[in-house]
A and B are shown apart, each in its own frame.
Chain A
Amino acid sequence: MQIYRAHALVCRGTGCSSHKAEEIFNELERQLQDKKLTNEVKVVTAGCLGLCKSGPNLVIYPEGAIYSGLQVEDVEEIVTEHLLKGRIVKRLLFGDTEADAGIKSLDDVGFFKRQKRIALRNCGVINPESIDEYLAFDGYKALTKVLTEMEPAEVIDVLKKSQLRGRGGAGFPTGTKWEFAAKAESKQKYVCCNADEGDPGAFMDRSILEGDPHSLVEAMAIAGYAVGADKGFIYIRAEYPIAVKRLRLAIEQAKEYGLLGENILNTGFNFDLEIRLGAGAFVCGEETALLTSIEGKRGEPRPRPPFPAVKGLWGQPTLLNNVETYANVPPIILNGPDWFTQIGTERSKGTKVFAVGGNINNTGLVEIPMGTTLREVIYEIGGGIPNGKEFKAAQTGGPSGGCIPASHIDTPIDYDTLVELGAMMGSGGLIIMDEDTCMVDIARFFLEFTVDESCGKCPPCRIGTKRMLEILSRITEGRGEEGDIEKLETLAKNIKAAALCGLGQTAPNPVLSTLRYFRDEYEAHVRDKKCPAGACKSLLDYVIDAEICKSCGICAKNCPVDAIEGEKKKGPFVIIQEKCIKCGTCVEKCPFDAISAS
């Protein structure tokens, strides 16, 4: 193998790809050729580093310098200065990575300091399209160990001791689930992976699939050995084309190397993997619906029990885990359960990956030990709230979850504390909301999502959520009636109790949780017809500030309903409130920022 003096890693995950990462990559190769450095510096395509907002990102080792927000023109400077002359280009370094004496190591940068990367251990570090690089980072070592040194029961024992819990939402103990599947008696069993990642606002699994696909392949083979299955399916959203491509490649490479297929590593163990694409149905993230969809049918859920571990795909015992759950397995096998249980809290061990989004400075992907507080995530890792705004609440668990208000910002995040707060861990979407976000509107947003995605099989979910949405819509549109809040509460209780699957049972959560912490906001909408956050358009009045208005008439010209009156150059214009449809066009068009909504 050729030895290189330096490695330049270009992130080419989805976020950075849209930031022209490809052009950066090509320019880098061109510049290196130009300067005759191709034998000394290796350019590597890497997966997501987590710093999506500041892309495109380029990391140069051995220094570990993170360059972000690059323009194609910057590449030449980096090549001549850093790679040729060894001088770091401080101007282009990411945020606070610059220290007095050069640059800080990754572990010291605010964004990374609080993180502990287990599931994401290889993301952004290795080339996801190369099995050799995965092998160089202890890849397939855990599979080798399991196949040559351990009995299936021992593997399950290690997982049980590690206390790993499912990362797909509910937090069910993984070792116990594997034991159920192993104990089920059948000639044919299956191992499946849930890579459907339906929570809107979450992309943890996507980054693992794009940045380290082999870790999933390896873990599923281990699972196959432990439960006695020789066939696996990965169910992945079709919206993730890059991930699908890299996963396909990983499976091919593993087969070539004899790490998948017949008689793996000459141990007599067979295991084959197949990819199945979703087709845009959120409910297919629910385990029974997912399996029905792999069978080629409408992805409708069915009542449990029987659980998939007993009766799953085509009626056979099936083990189903989430991508991130699997990604934790190889390190646990290699480092032992005691290593894993040292990380995290009493009842939640290890780390959790969050996709942090919304009103926060560093949006992106973070992996933190369980028990980290929300404050640390927002202010130390996330760099705080933009534009000097106040933090209002964070939403976890997507449409099934709830919110954590600012008053609980110091709660350590783990499975149990979140449930106590009326939220849930979910799969890892963490949306930060500032003071301008209306909580009633957010609840309405999630209900709209569930109404859209309800599969229609059971009436409580199909009809109940629709009624809730109607009430929420009327509240946010200023037509709320006395008693509406109580109606919402009754509906919520009944839907939770009567719905068939997790989708319906959890659909009312965003409403219940916002009601618990922000009831006054609901009341303000219903009683005073006011939106305290100033977000609900129908409840706003648009006004022209007479002091700033230069009476240019541009607003009146652009108003689609002629609701603005005045004469050019003859004193300030006025908006006739009765006519105004609150479209906001005038605010956008006014060259002097004289119009605002309140």
Chain B
Amino acid sequence: MSSTCSCSKEFVDEREERLTEVIEKYRGVRGALIPVLHEAQEIYGYLPFHVQKRISEEMQIPMGEIYGVITFYTQFSLEPKGEYQIQVCLGTACYVKGANLILEKFKEKLGIDVGGCTEDGKFSLQACRCVGACGLAPVVMINEDVYGGLKPSEVEKILKKYQ
């Protein structure tokens, strides 16, 4: 996410246009709601109300059903996320190697709970289940970066990199 102000007219329009393209692309495809939500979330970073409403109208799916689907799947978010999304893996391999201690450290250093976002919008913290890099346990992902073999004492240093 960039720091561009989202209230500027052009910026909003560009996103709306991209959403229209996505909806058009899936017109006539069966079971397209989930792929459309995925791509809409990629455009907006989360799924705001007006986006759900557009999708509901264009795809003729009741709002209730859309809300039901969004809340069923953990990857869909109704809230904006931080600029840097921290995902601490709590899969089995990572847990056995002390991932919960890493998570505690992130909570302590950021002063937020799992699912929360720091006040400045910089970091959001999530626990996830296995990113498929179990060989490197314990694993943390910050946006696209994967950190393996972490120790709780290294958490502070990593956060510094993003500040």
Interface residues of A (CB under 8 A from B): 14-15, 17-19, 51-53, 55, 197-203, 206, 238-240, 276-282, 293-300, 314, 355, 357-359, 363-365, 395, 398, 429, 431, 433, 437, 442, 445-446, 449, 455, 584, 588
Contacts and interface: CB of A to CB of B under 8 A. Distances in A.
B132 A14 contact: yes
B78 interface: no
B162 interface: no
Contact of A18 (B96, B101, B133): B133
Contact of B31 (A17, A197, A294): A294
Nearest to A207: B132
B86 to A, nearest CB: 15
Given A238-B75, A276-B34, A298 B134 contact: no
29 contacts: A14-B146, A15-B136, A17-B146, A51-B135, A199-B92, A199-B130, A201-B91, A201-B130, A201-B134, A203-B130, A206-B132, A238-B38, A238-B75, A239-B132, A240-B132, A277-B35, A279-B37, A279-B76, A280-B75, A299-B72, A355-B93, A357-B135, A358-B96, A359-B96, A363-B136, A364-B135, A365-B135, A445-B92, A588-B153
Contacts of B35: 276-277
Nearest to B141: A18
Interface residues of B, number: 42
Interface in B1-59: 30-35, 37-38
B156 to A, nearest CB: 11
Nearest to B152: A588
Given A295-B31, A398-B92, A200 B133 contact: no
Given A279-B76, A280-B75, A294-B31, A201 B93 contact: yes
Nearest to A399: B92
Nearest to A294: B31
B131 A239 contact: yes
A203 B134 contact: yes
A358 B137 CA distance: 8
B116 interface: no
Contacts, number: 140
B75 A429 contact: no
Interface in B125-163: 128-137, 139, 145-148, 152-153
A298 B69 contact: yes
B34 A279 contact: yes
A357 B74 contact: no
A276 B98 CA distance: 33
Given A199-B130, A200-B130, A281-B74, 6 more contacts: A199-B92, A279-B34, A296-B30, A300-B72, A363-B136, A398-B92
Contacts of A588: 152-153
Cβ-closest 6 pairs across A and B: A52-B135, A357-B93, A201-B92, A18-B146, A200-B91, A279-B73
Contacts of B34: 276-277, 279, 293, 296
A276 B31 contact: yes
A357 B139 CA distance: 12
A445 B135 contact: no
B142 to A, nearest CB: 11
Interface string B85-102: 000001111111100010
B38 A197 contact: no
A587 to B, nearest CB: 10
Contact of B68 (A15, A200, A238, A298): A298
A197 B91 CA distance: 12
B132 A431 contact: no
B92 A279 contact: no
Interface centre among A279, A314, A355 (most CB of B within 10 A): A279
Contacts of B32: 296
Nearest to B68: A298
Interface centre among B31, B69, B73 (most CB of A within 10 A): B31
Nearest to A297: B69
Interface of B: 30-35, 37-38, 65, 68-69, 72-76, 90-97, 101, 128-137, 139, 145-148, 152-153
Nearest to A243: B132
Contacts of A398: 92
B125 to A, nearest CB: 16
Contact of A52 (B95, B129, B133, B147): B133
Contacts of A201: 91-94, 130, 134
A357 B90 contact: no
A298 B74 CA distance: 11
Contacts of A296: 30-34, 69
B38 A277 contact: yes
Contacts of A280: 73-75
A55 B134 CA distance: 13
A16 B61 CA distance: 42
Nearest to B69: A298
Nearest to B91: A200
Contacts of B129: 198, 200, 282, 449
Nearest to A445: B95
Nearest to B73: A279
A285 to B, nearest CB: 11
A18 B146 CA distance: 5
A398 B30 CA distance: 33
A409 B32 CA distance: 48
A79 B12 CA distance: 51
A278 B76 CA distance: 11
Nearest to A449: B129
B132 A281 contact: no
B73 A281 contact: yes
Nearest to A241: B144
B72 A455 contact: yes
A53 B133 CA distance: 9
A18 B30 contact: no
B97 A358 contact: yes
B93 A358 contact: yes
Contact of B92 (A51, A240, A295, A395): A395
B163 to A, nearest CB: 21
Contacts of A437: 96
B134 A357 contact: yes
Contacts of B128: 239
A15 B133 contact: yes
B101 to A, nearest CB: 7
A53 B96 contact: no
A461 to B, nearest CB: 15
A429 B95 CA distance: 14
A199 B92 CA distance: 9
Nearest to B92: A201
B61 to A, nearest CB: 8
Contacts of A300: 72
A548 B75 CA distance: 49
